[in-house]
Structure 1
């Protein structure tokens, strides 16, 4: 089930609407919630079975990068 969810998020629905059709005039967007939830689920799976670490390392890194893309960096002068 987890593999299907990962495929759906990363391969099928690239702007992360998770199956909802776009509305007319809707701007393309990426939700912060999706990578955060995926990170949480993989963390829980690894807590239950640490041997899955290698299997989900890539998706954890992807989730962190997607979440960090929502952070605005302010430069101090």
Structure 2
């Protein structure tokens, strides 16, 4: 009961409870070599880790990919 009220209050403050279209942030990476993330990660740390994995696979001297975010509208 208390948790439900807290969640309703949080949704009302964020505008997510029927106020209009809401969005979510997705994190991506892109590299100078032309590689890029194929989807989007909901957490920046996940995108950073995936970018590091790309860099590690390519070997010594490969640049760290750029991390960026996009907004996606929820239906």
- Output the TM-score relative to the length of structure 1: 0.29
User: Structure 2 length normalisation: TM-score?
Assistant: 0.30
Higher strand fraction (1 or 2): 2
> Which structure has the bigger radius of gyration?
2
Higher relative contact order (CA closer than 8 Å, sequence separation 6+): 2
